[in-house]
Amino acid sequence: MFEVFKKELKELLRDKKTLLFVVALPVAVFPLLFAVVAFISSQAALDAEQKVHTYAIINGDFAPEFTEKVFYHKSFEQYKGAKTFNSIEELKEGVIAGDIDMGIYLPTNAKQALNDAQQSKWEVVFNDAKSINFLFQRVKELAKEYSDSLQTEKLISFGIEKEAHLALLTPIEVVKVDTADKRENLGEKLGGFLPYLLIPIVLMGATYPAIDLGAGEKERGTLETLLLTPITRTELVLGKFITLLTTSIASTTITVLSMGGWIAVALAFADLEVIKTAFSSLAVSDLLMIFVLLLPIAAIFSALALAISIYARTFKEAQNYMAPLSMGVFFPIIVSIMPNVELTAKTAFIPVTNVALAIKEIVKGTVDYTLVGLIFLATAIIAGALLAFCVKWFNREDVLFR
């Protein structure tokens, strides 16, 4: 078994593609990828924020203060083309044709409606499917300012002192008193995304080498040679499994160390207050606990990947079988970020979901160590069962020589 392990490990270390997936991706590529995505997203949001949108307004004379606010707003520019807009339908056609980005329709009785104790309805026409849907929010804010001024004028005309307006309009104020500290609050939001980075990398550290150890051996015709050696098939499977477990653990170790290193760099050099608040209290012991939780997950993925690879006839066929496994691992991670899904004695037995929930609790600083032990035990039992299945699978002639 040990000789098989040494042989497989040497072959994997000579393979540059394996080193790329196991070492380079966790250390540099993924953090770089996330940084690029964050940069592009922030730039796109900044561009959208600074973009000036063309608008047309109907019946603007009936609310001159509001019309003036829109006219002088930095994000809006009045339409100066030849077309005229006199109805909602014409505003819609103007938006669809691209003549204007937004149309505002004001009723002619905005102030009179208030005198008649009626609510005035204003309509904003725009394409909400585009990434400029904050247009509506900006107009709503301007309309609220105008609405508040009308409201104040009316209350004063009724003889109500300005100091009493707030108590009259909002007699009850509900104030939130949050018992969660900043780490717990931000950990709830950010901690749920860490499994999206860590668990797929652990899977990747097992799947790519597994393809070569199973289907690759078949394709090269070296599997028969291995079977003729004086070792049992169980030892052969265990040798390959330990090799995969080693690469997956190596990938896990590098990932956790890389994550800790990148967080330290972010804390030292970048002015990211959210990241600092969320991770400044994340101790080395927390990173070690995340690492320990990922170990049995690595064993599960190694056993599954080896069983699939042994079944496949060729390298390409093994890649096709691995694809659903890669996609399937995201489903239990998604479950972990659903509302009201928490780490309990029940969820501690759901594979992958339990580890994702535990990582979130570790980042929040509210992890229950008893449940962590339960997760480790449950995941280790599943990994052992899958390894036993893998050994049985390898002993079947119809699987080895399909």
Average pLDDT over residues 257-270: 68
C-alpha dihedral, 319 to 325 to 327 to 331, nearest 10°: 180
Give the model's pLDDT for residue 51.
80
Identify the three-state secondary structure at position 312.
Answer: coil
Give, in order, the Cα–Cα distances in Å from 268 to each of 265, 271, 273, 280: 5, 8, 11, 11
Least confident of 110-114, 203-207, 232-236: 110-114
53-169: CATH architecture:
3-Layer(aba) Sandwich (3.40)
What the block records as the tokens of 27 is: 């250390």
Give dist(CA 401, CA 399) in Å, integer.
6
Q: How confident is the model at residue 206 (pLDDT cuts 50, 70, 90)?
A: confident
Distance separating the N- and C-terminal Cα atoms of the chain: 25
Residue 195 near residue 360 (C-beta atoms within 8 A):
yes
Burial of residue 111 (number of CB atoms within 10 Å: 0-12, 13-18, 19+): middle
What the block records as the tokens of 287 is: 């990173």
Give, in order, the Cα–Cα distances in Å from 398 to each of 72, 226, 310: 78, 17, 11
Give dist(CA 18, CA 208) in Å, integer.
7
Give the model's pLDDT for residue 129.
74
Question: Could you state, in order of their start, the residue ranges of all structural domains in the chain?
Answer: 1-30+180-401, 53-169
Give the model's pLDDT for residue 274.
58
Cβ atoms < 10 Å from Cβ of 36: 10
Residue 215 near residue 315 (C-beta atoms within 8 A):
yes
More confident residue, 307 or 287: 307
pLDDT digits (tens, 9 = 90+) for 151-177: 888 888 888 887 788 887 888 888 888
pLDDT digits (tens, 9 = 90+) for 369-399: 899 889 988 988 998 899 898 888 888 877 7
CA 47 to chain centre: 23
Give dist(CA 209, CA 21) in Å, integer.
9
Q: How confident is the model at residue 312 (pLDDT cuts 50, 70, 90)?
A: confident
Identify the three-state secondary structure at position 125.
Answer: strand
- Residue 76: phi and psi, rounded to 5, are -125, 145
Give, in order, the Cα–Cα distances in Å from 298 to each of 31, 100, 258, 350: 21, 55, 17, 15
Order of all β-strands in the sheet with 76-78: 76-78, 53-58, 102-105, 123-126
Query: Which element (helix H / strand E) includes 102?
Result: strand 102-105
Give the model's pLDDT for residue 130.
64
Question: Scanning the structure block, which residue is given the tokens 């496949």?
Answer: 312
Give the model's pLDDT for residue 321.
83
Give, in order, the Cα–Cα distances in Å from 225 to each of 217, 231, 318, 361: 10, 11, 21, 49
**Average pLDDT of the chain to the nearest whole number:** 80
Least confident of 112-116, 284-288, 309-313: 112-116
What the block records as the tokens of 347 is: 């969820």
Least confident of 139-143, 176-180, 363-367: 176-180
Is the confidence at residue 335, as pLDDT, over 70? Answer: yes
What the block records as the tokens of 252 is: 């896990």
